Amino acid sequence: MRQFALLLLAAASVAGAQPPTWVPGMPWAPTEPYITIGQDEAGYRNWFLASPAHATYVKAFNNYLATYGVSGIVPTWQLLRTASDWQKCGTAAFEVPPSEDWPNIVQTLRYVRDKVIPAVGPVEPVSVYRSPMLNKCAGGAQESAHRFMQAVDMVPLNPITRDMLISKLCAVHATNGQPYGVGLGFYVGLRFHVDSRKFRTWGQKDDGSIACARSFEMVHAKDPVTAAFPNGVPPPADPLAPPPAPALQQPPKS
φ, ψ of residue 3 to 5 degrees: the values are -65, -40
Q: Walk me through the domains of the chain, giving residue ranges and CATH numbers.
A: 36-227 (3.30.1380.10)
pLDDT at 140: 77
pLDDT mean values, one per 10 residues, the chain (254 residues): 41 47 82 94 97 96 97 98 92 95 97 98 96 84 88 96 96 96 95 96 92 90 52 47 40 36
- Closest to 167 measured CA to CA, from 120, 123, 200, 208: 120
pTM higher than 0.85, yes or no?
A: no
Q: How far apart are CA 191 and CA 28, in angstroms?
A: 14
pLDDT at 16: 42
pLDDT at 6: 41
